[in-house]
């Protein structure tokens, strides 16, 4: 039993060492060639810490934790997934970064809507359940909350773009074919994860930075209006 476990641990240890080496090399690559992305992610994490502190420092923090959907979002979606984007980037898993960003975006909108539309409910889970049962579908929800916040179509536009370009199968297929057409190679994330970045990945990495920045702007504006209208 022990002898077999020892033999099994050897390839796993080698795999973990490969992971660490690739992540270290990709970290160096990002710092040298895409520093703006690294900086954007760090600022995003700082945003998450600051927003979560709004609940932590509130006089009714325990009650708010149970009552507010936005408290759940800040603690259990924004905090962990903002932190998780950079490790995904270090692994070369660019689509994984977008999947997390889309989850963050969708959760922000749904949690804002749940708190603003169902304030009579005292448990955040019930607010979200009512939203899922009675609220509009996600695309229409994005447009409705966008109008409510005065963002016009910005929420819907970002959600649609993240979904169309990086989450749906067609978007992944188009990305690979575009890369083959433009650079005559396949992006690392479409071969195996982890894999090292090359200079051919810089456009995709800068696009990721841009989309994170867009979300941060919408998050900031949403939190400002939440604090003014509902507040922690």
C-alpha–C-alpha distance, residues 161 and 172, integer Å: 12
Domain of residue 140, residue span: 2-229
CB atoms within 10 A of CB 95: 19
184 Cα distance to chain centroid: 30
Segment 46-86, tens digit of pLDDT: 999 999 999 999 999 999 999 999 999 999 999 999 999 99
> What's the pLDDT at 167?
80
CB atoms within 10 A of CB 35: 11
> What's the pLDDT at 8?
60
At residue 9 the predicted structure's pLDDT band, cuts being 50, 70 and 90, is low
Written as six digits, the tokens of 33 are: 């060639």
Residue 5 pLDDT greater than 80, yes or no: no
Does a cis peptide bond (omega within 30 degrees of 0) precede residue 194? yes
> What's the pLDDT at 177?
84
- The number of folded domains in the chain is 1
> What does each C-alpha distance from 43 to 48, 122, 129, 225 come to in angstroms?
9, 33, 32, 21
DSSP at 199: G
At residue 1 the predicted structure's pLDDT band, cuts being 50, 70 and 90, is very low
Segment 141-169, tens digit of pLDDT: 999 999 999 998 999 999 999 998 888 88
First to last CA, the chain: 55
At residue 2 the predicted structure's pLDDT band, cuts being 50, 70 and 90, is very low
Q: Is residue 114 a contact partner of residue 130, using CB atoms and an 8 Å limit? A: yes
DSSP at 190: G
Q: Is residue 210 a contact partner of residue 36, using CB atoms and an 8 Å limit? A: no
Segment 168-220, tens digit of pLDDT: 888 888 878 888 778 777 887 888 889 999 999 999 999 999 999 999 999 99
């Amino acid at each position: 039993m022990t002898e077999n476990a020892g033999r099994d641990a050897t390839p796993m240890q080698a795999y973990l060492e490969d992971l660490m080496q690739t992540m270290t090399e990709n970290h160096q690559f990002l710092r040298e060639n895409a520093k703006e992305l690294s900086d954007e992610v760090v600022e995003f994490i700082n945003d998450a810490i600051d927003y979560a502190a709004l609940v932590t420092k509130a006089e009714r923090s325990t009650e708010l934790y149970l009552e507010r959907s936005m408290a759940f979002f800040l603690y259990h979606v924004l905090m962990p997934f903002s932190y998780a984007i950079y490790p995904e980037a270090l692994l070369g898993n660019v689509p994984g970064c977008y999947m997390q960003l889309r989850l963050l975006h969708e959760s922000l909108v749904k949690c804002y809507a749940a708190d603003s539309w169902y304030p009579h409910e005292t448990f955040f889970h019930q607010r979200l359940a009512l939203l899922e049962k009675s609220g509009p579908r996600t695309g229409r929800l994005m447009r409705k909350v966008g109008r409510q916040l005065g963002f016009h179509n910005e929420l819907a536009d970002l959600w649609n773009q993240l979904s169309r370009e990086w989450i749906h199968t067609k978007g992944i297929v188009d990305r690979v074919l575009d890369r083959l057409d433009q650079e005559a190679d396949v992006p690392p994330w479409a071969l195996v994860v982890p894999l090292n970045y090359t200079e051919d990945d810089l456009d995709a990495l800068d696009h990721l930075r841009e989309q994170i920045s867009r979300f941060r702007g919408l998050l900031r504006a949403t939190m400002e209006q939440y604090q003014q209208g509902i507040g922690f």
